[in-house]
Amino acid sequence: MKRRKFIQNASLSSLGVVAGATALACKDETKTNTVKTENKTEGSLPLVIATWNVPNATAKAWEELQKGNSSLDAIEQGCKIEEANAEGQSVGLGGLPDRDGNVTLDACIMNKEGNYGAVVYLQNIKHPISVARKVMEETPHVIMAGKGAEQFAISQGFEPENLLTEASKKAWEQWKETSQYKPIINIENHDTIGMLAIDSNGDIAGGCTTSGLAYKMAGRVGDSPIIGSGLFIDNEIGGATATGLGEEVLKTVGSFLIVELMRQGKSPQEACEEAISRIVTKNPNFKDFQVGYIAVNKKGETGAYSIHEGFYVSTYQEDMAKSYMPEFHNK
The nearest distance, CB 184 to ligand SD4, in angstroms, is 11
Check binding of 210 to ligand SD4 (CB under 6 A).
yes
CB neighbour class for 327 (10 Å; exposed up to 12, middle 13-18, buried from 19): buried
Of 150-158, 206-214, 257-265, 300-308: span binding ligand SD4 (CB under 6 A): 206-214
Q: How many CB atoms lie within 10 A of CB 40?
A: 19
The contact mask relative to ligand SD4 for 90-109 (x = CB under 6 A, - = no) is x-------------------
CB neighbour class for 206 (10 Å; exposed up to 12, middle 13-18, buried from 19): buried
Of 1-9, 40-48, 141-149, 217-225: span binding ligand SD4 (CB under 6 A): 217-225
Closest C-alpha among 314, 303, 261, 302 to residue 79? 314
The nearest distance, CB 90 to ligand SD4, in angstroms, is 6
Report d(CA 213, CA 210) in Å as an integer. Answer: 8
* Among 46, 55, 206, 222, contact with ligand SD4 (rule: CB under 6 A): 222
* Among 224, 302, 314, 315, contact with ligand SD4 (rule: CB under 6 A): 224
Instruction: Measure the CA dihedral 213/217/219/220, to 10°.
Output: -40
HSE value, Cβ hemisphere, 13 Å, CA-based, for 211? 35
Residues 296-325 that bind ligand SD4 (CB under 6 A): none
Check binding of 269 to ligand SD4 (CB under 6 A).
no
Residues 226-245 that bind ligand SD4 (CB under 6 A): 243-245
Residues 55-84 that bind ligand SD4 (CB under 6 A): none
Sign of the torsion formed by the C-alpha atoms of 285, 289, 290 and 291: negative
Check binding of 122 to ligand SD4 (CB under 6 A).
no
* Among 246, 254, 268, 300, contact with ligand SD4 (rule: CB under 6 A): 246
Check binding of 223 to ligand SD4 (CB under 6 A).
yes
The nearest distance, CB 250 to ligand SD4, in angstroms, is 8
Q: What H or E segment, with its residue span, contains residue 179?
A: none
SS3 track for 276-294:
HHHHHHHCCCHHHCCEEEE
Report d(CA 28, CA 85) in Å as an integer. Answer: 11
The nearest distance, CB 52 to ligand SD4, in angstroms, is 7
The nearest distance, CB 193 to ligand SD4, in angstroms, is 8
Closer Cβ to ligand SD4, 292 or 303, answer by number: 292
Q: Which residues is 22 bridged to in the sheet? A: 34
Task: Say which DSSP state 307 is in.
Answer: S
Selected catalytic residue, list 34, 51, 104, 192: 192
Report d(CA 136, CA 52) in Å as an integer. Answer: 26
* Among 89, 189, 269, 317, contact with ligand SD4 (rule: CB under 6 A): 189
Closer Cβ to ligand SD4, 90 or 315, answer by number: 90
Q: Is 51 a catalytic residue?
A: no
Closer Cβ to ligand SD4, 90 or 111, answer by number: 90
Closest C-alpha among 128, 123, 136 to residue 208? 128
Of 174-182, 216-224, 263-271, 306-314: span binding ligand SD4 (CB under 6 A): 216-224
Report d(CA 243, CA 306) in Å as an integer. Answer: 9
Q: Which residues are catalytic?
A: 192
Q: Could you list the residues that contact ligand SD4 (CB under 6 A)? A: 90, 189, 192, 210, 212-213, 222-224, 243-246
